[in-house]
Amino acid sequence: MIGQVLGHYRIDAKIGEGGMGVVYRARDEFLHRDVALKVLSKGTVPSDSTREYLLHEARSSSALSHPNICTIHEVGELNSELYIVMELVEGKPLSTLLAGEGLPVESVLRYGVQIASALSHSHGRSIIHRDLKSSNIMITSEGLVKVLDFGLAKRSEKDLLEGATQTIGPLDTAQGLTGTLQYMAPEILRGLETDHRIDIWALSVVLYEAACGQLPFKGRTAFEISSSILHDLPPQLPSRVPTGLWAIIQRCLAKEPAHRYQQAGEVQAALETVQSASKASPPASPADLRGPLTTVLRGMRHLTVKNGDVLLLVGTTKGAFLLRSKTSRSSWDVAGPYFHGNAIYALNYDNRQGRHRLWASTHTFWGTFLRSSDDFGKTWTNPQEANVKFPPDCGAALANIWQVSLGREDEPHTLYCGVEPAALFSSPDDGETWSLVRGLFDHPHRPRWLPGNGGLCLHTILLDPIDPKRMYVAISSAGVYRSDDAGQTWQARNSGIRVVHMPEKYPEFGQCVHKIVMHPSKPERLFLQNHWGLYRSDDAAANWQDIANGVPSDFGFTMVMHPHDPDTVFIVPIESDQFRCTPEGRLRVYRTRNAGRSWEPLTRGLPQKGAYETILRDAMTADSLDPAGIYFGTRNGELYGSIDDGKNWKKLLGGLPSIVCVKAVIVGEPHAAAKPRATAGAAAAAHRPKRSTANAKRRPAKRR
């Protein structure tokens, strides 16, 4: 096979062989990447139905996208040979690391958490591994777990019990006993119905094996092993293994599936608890009492980030997730959830003056706090005092922080945040101190502003890149306000925007504006998604024109500006305020490329049936690469992305809590919104990432 070409894969070297077939390192000649290519031996796939089943399983497994699962790129059949193309994982199987007494407890926990996380992800998508064992868990040199062969080992239990066919190796060969039988749950051996809990059993066998180097159930023959699995309790682990870990293993090895942890996520959480207990932080010294605490997040795999990488900051109602990709944006590492259980309504990345600071607004019933991280999430500040709060004379109390925005490039220490109840705060000193912008808070309109469904919130802040004194805010439900004197005074700018919830249809203020966007090369022009209505203004928000031309609904929440083209805007129409879902169950992004004269649906790769999704106002974003990456998250916790200006879409991640905000940033790149403009063309070019040897492969940016 070496040197041969299978499809568009050139086979370079053999890297392994198992019962299922031979694994080669191969070169994908189309995408110019190295992959692992598994060619299934004919003997393992005896019948057409098994073959179809295997193809089906492999295809569904290819939908799995998780940092701890070896990604399946393609499944195919060529010259009657089945092959599977997958991510090339450079590492060692866990089984080869277990010689002697097993691994240090810390490693067992670290790997266990990642394996459980992989299982939790796949079980959430109804994919059962069915052949989890230490030899198909790879450990990379960075300590990252990659679980191989998801869903590939399904076979009928009847076949197995009769010893007729097994994907890994026949039971009755001499060395066959080292196969998978040792990892099989009792219900398989009994010929009973099985479900995802067989993976929880197998995970525990792996944990046991990792902890002491021995399998929990042994025997000289298949009969003895089966008998031990069915009847014996696992032998006590050595005393160096914490009782917490031993308890988890025992519970997963309950003979009755109903007595085990029922979900892999529960095993993961239990392992994490043992992990944090074994590394509890020492009590704070009295000197630490008043300064902000630093929360060190242990037991979580964090991102390794390089300059030029694309980061997606994803805020959900139950925590934040960070995704990282190279500029190719072909695969994403995922870390999180950060701020377990907190609602994260705003995230941002401050890279002015060489900083790498993430900001997060975190909200629980214990209050709302702005927290920052200078190491991409490994540690976060945890302020003693709420950093954003209303002055005592206001009679107002902070309910949430909806937006964190950066000041202009020439004010590198300035930050803004928009909050609920509607108000603007600014910080002159990198978020050390915050003060209420009184000009807006004391506006005579404010007592007559009305809260919308999301409360009365100031959710959008736009700085004019040319006029340093001009800025805009958008408030639900009050409308757009503009200041031309750096926030001292504010004027309502809603002329032409219709309201449906008041008797007067075109009031001066009171509009429920959901989002406004502006391109830095054309700051006098703004686009607006209203509670009902799509609008454009060509005169700095003085007047607005309806641009809902050819959209299935002009109701919606989110709106995103194209990073390079001031005529291109993306929205996701929602059926109505009564039924806040995508119309007809079809998930369609709409794009205008002529500043709203017409809109076209973008659907390729997005579900067009039964997709009742809601995309909230800050849940769509664009990166600044060319072609642009557009990303959005849904209230159902699905995250989609396109890397070609919206033409083709792919689900990047699913099963998250409700997604509230998504923000794409390029690591190390000057922040787009903060850059002053020299000329229109130069400004657009300046927002593209710097060319460097690291990303020289990307095609040159076009001038528009």
Partner 1 sequence: MSVTIHIPGPLRDFSQQRGEVQLPGSPATLLEALQLLFAAHPGLRDRILNEDGQLRQHINIFVGNESIRYTGGLATHLPATATISIIPAISGGQ
Return the active site residues: 131
- Tell me how far, at minimum, the Cβ of 392 lies from partner 1, in Å: 7
Could you say whether residue 293 binds partner 1 (CB under 8 A)? Answer: yes
- Tell me how far, at minimum, the Cβ of 323 lies from partner 1, in Å: 24
| 216 prior amide bond cis, ω within 30 | no
Q: Which of 384, 433, 594, 692 binds partner 1 (CB under 8 A)?
A: 384
Burial of 287 (0-12, 13-18, 19+ CB in 10 A): exposed
Could you say whether residue 283 binds partner 1 (CB under 8 A)? Answer: yes
Could you say whether residue 417 binds partner 1 (CB under 8 A)? Answer: no
Q: Which of 398, 560, 587, 660 binds partner 1 (CB under 8 A)?
A: 398
Burial of 31 (0-12, 13-18, 19+ CB in 10 A): exposed
Q: What is the C-alpha separation between 398 and 550, in angstroms, rounded?
A: 40
Q: Which helix (H) or strand (E) holds 639?
A: strand 639-642
- Tell me how far, at minimum, the Cβ of 282 lies from partner 1, in Å: 9
Judge whether 537 and 543 are in contact, CB under 8 Å: yes
Q: How many residues bind partner 1 (CB under 8 A)?
A: 27
Tokens read off for 522? 């054309």
Q: What is the C-alpha separation between 109 and 98, in angstroms, rounded?
A: 14
Helix (H/G/I), strand (E/B), else coil: 448: helix
- Tell me how far, at minimum, the Cβ of 337 lies from partner 1, in Å: 15
* Category of 207 on φ-ψ map: left (φ > 0), alpha (ψ -120 to 50) or beta: alpha
Q: Which is nearer to partner 1, 528 or 616 (CB)?
A: 616
Could you say whether residue 287 binds partner 1 (CB under 8 A)? Answer: no
- Tell me how far, at minimum, the Cβ of 269 lies from partner 1, in Å: 14
| 627 prior amide bond cis, ω within 30 | yes
Q: What is the C-alpha separation between 473 and 515, in angstroms, rounded?
A: 10
Q: Which is nearer to partner 1, 320 or 513 (CB)?
A: 320
Q: Which of 22, 55, 300, 396 binds partner 1 (CB under 8 A)?
A: 396
Q: What is the 3-state secondary structure (H, E, C) of 464-514?
A: CCCCCCCEEEEEECEEEEEECCCCCCCEECCCCCCCCCCCCCCCCCCECEE
Could you say whether residue 503 binds partner 1 (CB under 8 A)? Answer: no
Which residues, numbered 309-368, are part of the site for partner 1 (CB under 8 A)? 317, 341, 343, 364-367
- Tell me how far, at minimum, the Cβ of 275 lies from partner 1, in Å: 17
Instruction: Indicate the length of the chain as a whole number.
Output: 704
- Tell me how far, at minimum, the Cβ of 557 lies from partner 1, in Å: 19
Q: Which of 91, 390, 486, 538 binds partner 1 (CB under 8 A)?
A: 390
Q: Which helix (H) or strand (E) holds 441?
A: helix 438-441
Q: Which stretch binds partner 1 (CB under 8 A): 25-33, 168-176, 391-399, 587-595?
A: 391-399
Q: What is the dihedral of CA 165, 170, 172, 175, to 10 degrees?
A: -170
Could you say whether residue 389 binds partner 1 (CB under 8 A)? Answer: yes
Helix (H/G/I), strand (E/B), else coil: 71: coil
- Tell me how far, at minimum, the Cβ of 124 lies from partner 1, in Å: 21
Helix (H/G/I), strand (E/B), else coil: 48: helix
Which residues, numbered 193-212, are part of the site for partner 1 (CB under 8 A)? none
Which residues, numbered 262-281, are part of the site for partner 1 (CB under 8 A)? 280-281
Which residues, numbered 504-533, are part of the site for partner 1 (CB under 8 A)? none
Could you say whether residue 170 binds partner 1 (CB under 8 A)? Answer: no
Query: Which candidate, 515, 473, 491, 496, places its Cα nearest to that of 618?
Result: 515
Judge whether 444 and 482 are in contact, CB under 8 Å: no
Instruction: Return the DSSP state at 674.
Output: G
Which residues, numbered 124-163, are part of the site for partner 1 (CB under 8 A)? none
Could you say whether residue 307 binds partner 1 (CB under 8 A)? Answer: no
- Tell me how far, at minimum, the Cβ of 576 lies from partner 1, in Å: 24
Q: Which stretch binds partner 1 (CB under 8 A): 209-217, 389-397, 401-409, 696-704?
A: 389-397
Q: Which is nearer to partner 1, 285 or 693 (CB)?
A: 285
Could you say whether residue 393 binds partner 1 (CB under 8 A)? Answer: no
Q: Would strands 379-382 and 293-296 be described as parallel, antiparallel, or unpaired?
A: antiparallel
Q: Which is nearer to partner 1, 273 or 307 (CB)?
A: 273
Could you say whether residue 419 binds partner 1 (CB under 8 A)? Answer: no
Could you say whether residue 397 binds partner 1 (CB under 8 A)? Answer: yes
Q: Which stretch binds partner 1 (CB under 8 A): 224-232, 265-273, 378-386, 664-672?
A: 378-386
Interface with partner 1 (CB under 8 A):
280-281, 283-284, 289-290, 293, 295, 317, 341, 343, 364-367, 382-386, 389-390, 392, 395-398
